[in-house]
């Protein structure tokens, strides 16, 4: 490991730990094939095949340490509620024990259960009983013909645009406070108000594309912080289909599509770059991610990489929500900056919010404070190694980096250091282009990308 973060010397990059494990297994005479399938909605699934040490040869703990981290990653990359395990009784037993209520990975199991609406299961099977690979591809035709609405629902504002034949003729944003409201009528009224405002600027509305923070399946809200105050019973009754109702009540039966905002950001970036195989990473309050594949389409994956492990050091910082260590949120968000600043000996005034702490570190960096500069260098090291790990799951040619952490001088440092790590440690990935969105994409690119989601045919 040529690059080590100064303020996090215990960092154990996932990719290096995985490669070390694979090398040791390859040298062993006691190895066997592990075959895992993780299934999500509509039978779509993800397959993992790898050699591991045979059960009961003294390496059961090591096997599980690596495999569990991979399973956890796949759950948050692709999603799933059912894990099929073939080739290891020990891996099956321990996954079943931990991924259940009151188990070590209870958070993950219950979260996926809520997303997909089925009990979380770990099932032991033979190799022949593994379901065949079934991959989803959400086609984005990028057809902007007609009169379309692009709507983006964020945590602090909602943006809406009227798009006619690919041209944004009207765009505005409205401050709202969805995370503070327990009555979903507030959310519904705000959504419809934005729809009607955009519609008033066009002769008709042919389609509506919606970009919204959260997890959406078949246009239904499954999990979204926008509705965090809404009680569960009301959520199931009035929030799950809120966008479906809002479109139909306002415009009748027209094409529409609801997609996670991270996915739409990646799509906007892919449009900006005129490229495919684009991974978008927003480093702000958390780590938000989207991906556009080789066909300029979406995959139906969760891409919730804030909860995917990137540091295999069991002593790494724990994420308060999931209760797990080494997760992306503590490496690619304002939390990462604060964590490293505290390790660097930077003091914050009492009562400062996380966003204010980030701004303070950024101001120190603008004053050429060596500690602040090193913080962003350390995040660049995190990013370089982690992009190599993400490449185990995604085919990546471009990485679009945005969010508050990437703004200003610090963002440039992060990109430069991450490139150094890729060039020197992972020459097979030195082709990956790291970039930030241009001003046009920041202003209206998201609206256009959202408007392009529905297919009129």
Using alpha carbons, list the distances in angstroms from residue 111 to 17, 108, 189.
27, 5, 28
Residues ≥6 apart with Cβ < 8 Å to 83: 36, 37, 38, 39, 71, 95, 99, 121, 122, 123
pLDDT digits (tens, 9 = 90+) for 300-347: 999 999 999 999 999 999 998 899 999 999 999 999 999 999 999 999
Q: Cα separation of 153 and 164, whole Å?
A: 21
Residues of the chain with pLDDT under 70: 443
Neighbours of 31 (CB within 10 A): 17
Please tell me if the domain spanning 147-264 has the same topology as the one spanning 269-444. Answer: yes
pLDDT digits (tens, 9 = 90+) for 45-79: 999 999 999 999 999 999 999 999 999 999 999 99
> What predicted TM-score, i.e. pTM, was given to this entire model?
0.92
At residue 233, the pLDDT reads: 94
Strands 167-175 and 157-164: antiparallel
Report the CATH number of the 269-444 domain.
3.30.420.40
Using alpha carbons, list the distances in angstroms from residue 152 to 164, 171, 215, 226.
17, 11, 14, 12
Q: In which order are the strands placed within the sheet that holds 256-260?
A: 167-175, 157-164, 147-153, 207-212, 256-260
pLDDT digits (tens, 9 = 90+) for 186-237: 999 999 999 999 999 999 999 999 999 889 999 999 999 899 999 999 999 9
Token output for 192: 């419809």
* 147-264 carries CATH number 3.30.43.10: no
Where would I find the beta strands (DSSP E) of 56-195? 82-86, 121-124, 147-153, 157-164, 167-175
Exposed, middle or buried: residue 43 (CB in 10 Å: 0-12, 13-18, 19+)? exposed
Q: Cα separation of 291 and 259, whole Å?
A: 12
Using alpha carbons, list the distances in angstroms from residue 267 to 28, 178, 295, 335, 377.
44, 25, 12, 26, 28
- Coil, strand, or helix at residue 217? strand
- Rg of the chain in Å (alpha carbons): 22
At residue 155, the pLDDT reads: 82
Token output for 50: 């790898």
Domain ranges of the chain: 14-129, 147-264, 269-444
């Amino acid at each position: 490991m040529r690059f080590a973060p100064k303020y996090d010397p215990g960092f154990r990059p996932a990719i290096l730990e995985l490669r070390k494990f694979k090398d040791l297994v390859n040298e062993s005479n006691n190895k066997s094939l592990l075959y895992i399938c993780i299934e999500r909605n509509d039978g779509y699934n993800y397959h993992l095949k790898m050699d591991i040490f045979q059960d009961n040869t003294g390496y059961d703990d090591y096997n599980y340490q690596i495999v569990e981290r991979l399973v956890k990653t796949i759950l948050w990359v692709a999603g799933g509620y059912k894990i099929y395990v073939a080739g290891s009784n020990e891996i099956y037993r321990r996954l079943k024990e931990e991924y259940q209520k009151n188990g070590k990975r209870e958070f993950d199991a219950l979260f996926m259960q809520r997303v997909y609406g089925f009990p979380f299961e770990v099932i032991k099977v033979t190799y022949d009983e593994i379901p065949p690979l079934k991959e989803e591809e959400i086609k984005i035709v990028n057809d902007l013909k007609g009169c379309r609405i692009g709507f983006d629902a964020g945590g602090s504002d909602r943006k809406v645009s009227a798009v006619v034949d690919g041209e944004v003729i009207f765009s505005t944003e409205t401050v709202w406070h969805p995370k503070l409201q327990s009555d979903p009528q507030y959310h519904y009224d705000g959504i419809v108000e934005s729809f009607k405002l955009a519609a008033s600027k066009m002769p008709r509305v042919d389609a509506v594309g919606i970009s919204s923070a959260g997890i959406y399946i078949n246009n239904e809200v499954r999990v979204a912080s926008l509705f965090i105050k809404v009680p569960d019973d009301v959520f199931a009754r009035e929030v799950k289909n809120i966008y479906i109702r809002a479109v139909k009540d306002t415009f009748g039966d027209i094409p529409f599509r609801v997609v996670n905002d991270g996915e739409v950001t990646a799509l906007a970036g892919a449009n900006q770059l005129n490229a495919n195989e684009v991974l978008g990473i927003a480093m702000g309050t958390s780590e938000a991610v989207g991906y556009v594949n080789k066909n300029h389409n979406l995959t139906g994956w969760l891409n919730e990489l804030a909860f995917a492990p990137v540091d295999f050091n069991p002593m790494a910082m724990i994420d308060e929500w999931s209760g797990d260590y080494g997760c992306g949120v503590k490496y690619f968000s304002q939390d990462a900056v604060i964590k490293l600043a505290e390790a660097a000996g930077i003091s914050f005034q009492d009562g400062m919010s996380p966003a204010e702490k980030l701004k303070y570190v950024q101001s120190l960096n603008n004053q050429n404070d060596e500690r602040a500069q090193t913080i962003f260098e350390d995040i660049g090291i995190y990013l370089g190694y982690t992009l190599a790990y993400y490449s185990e799951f995604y085919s990546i040619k471009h990485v679009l980096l945005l969010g508050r952490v990437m703004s200003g001088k610090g963002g440039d440092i992060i990109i430069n250091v991450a490139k150094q790590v890729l060039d020197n440690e992972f020459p097979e990935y030195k082709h990956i282009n790291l970039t930030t969105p241009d001003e046009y994409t920041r202003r209206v690119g998201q609206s256009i990308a959202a408007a392009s989601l529905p297919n009129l045919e």
